[in-house]
Structure 1
């Protein structure tokens, strides 16, 4: 009984962690994946990529690959000597540093003619959210009702469950 209460408590706490803290997995090209004749620049436009996020390249193994290149390699659709191609068809690239990143397909003319390339800017990891203050007395809104901070009820429930388990 106590172990299931602890498990439920941990599940509640994990569910309350904002997604921005854990990072986002971006399926490159969404449901189209990494394929020919897709506008990856348009796909990336409007998205914000942060350190801690991951790019996931899905494609038929043996048909394409993924090469991380520099700006010149991107413009010329050519990888520098020694660049290792990702070829599994389910390639995951963690975004570990901020800055500009460039990716191309190195198979045949897939980059130069078939548009299999894109560039993104990775932003520094956002600061952790400030802890939610626990008020000593409820505040009153203009409508006369009580204003409770977003996580106050969750924090109270977790503390109560932990207290019951300890006692």
Structure 2
């Protein structure tokens, strides 16, 4: 009996992991790769176009906080490089922004002139993937001779009209 219970335990554990994940974390994207968040040498549009962003992912901005910041702005302010009405501002020099909702997100450097010469990033965040399809919950252990089709049973005419399955002898 302990063997059967452990089989159910491990099968259930596998199903729970498939459904909910263990420590489900998204991809970590270091903005600008080894160059980081800077105003020279990185085409952030090209950098972003080579990646897919999903809810649960995070962006890591690494930069010199004496020269730059990270300012999240609206699409309109992104186009104008206007940092005067930020949605969020990060200034530590090593900031992680977790992507929590699908849609476009826009980041600029709020230091005057930096956005105008290309220190800006807009990304499209997709909903989190659904992950693997869950396996069906295991039912009773059946012998090889048992059938998966419903068997006649006095309970077959029960109010639920649910199919009933016949169990074979225990393999133990």
Compare the two structures and name the one with the higher helix fraction.
1
Q: How does 1:37-56 map to 2 (within 5 A)?
A: 37=40, 38-56=42-60
For the pair shown, the structure with the greater C-alpha radius of gyration is 2
> What's the CA shift string for 1:22-70, capped at 9, x where partnerless?
2011000010100112200000013110000000000112210000011
SS class of match (1:112) = helix
Counterparts of 1:100 and 1:80 in 2: how far apart (Å)?
A: 20
Q: Which digits, 9 at most, give the CA deviation of each residue in 1:88-129, with x for residues without a partner?
A: 00011110000011100011211012x100110000011131
Q: Give ranges in structure 1 of 5+ residues lacking alignment.
A: 1-12, 138-167
Distance in structure 2 (CA, Å) of the matches to 1:68 and 1:132: 41
How many residues are treated as equivalent by the alignment?
Answer: 121
Contact persistence 2:31–2:60 (CA under 8 A)? yes
Partners of 1:127 and 1:30 lie apart in 2 by 27
**Residue 88 in 1 paired to residue 92 in 2?**
yes
Q: 2 CA distance for matches of 1:132 and 1:29?
A: 39
Higher RCO, 1 vs 2 (CA within 8 Å, ≥6 residues apart)? 1
Runs of 4+ in 1 over 3 A off after TM superposition: 16-19
Per the alignment, residue 108 of structure 2 pairs with: 104
> What CA distance in whole angstroms lies between the structure 2 residues aligned with 1:93 and 1:58?
11
The corresponding residue for 1:117 is: 120
| Structure 2: gaps spanning 5 or more residues | 1-13, 145-172
SS in 1 for 2:34: helix
Provide the TM-score with structure 2 as the length reference: 0.62
Pairwise CA RMSD of aligned residues?
Answer: 2.6
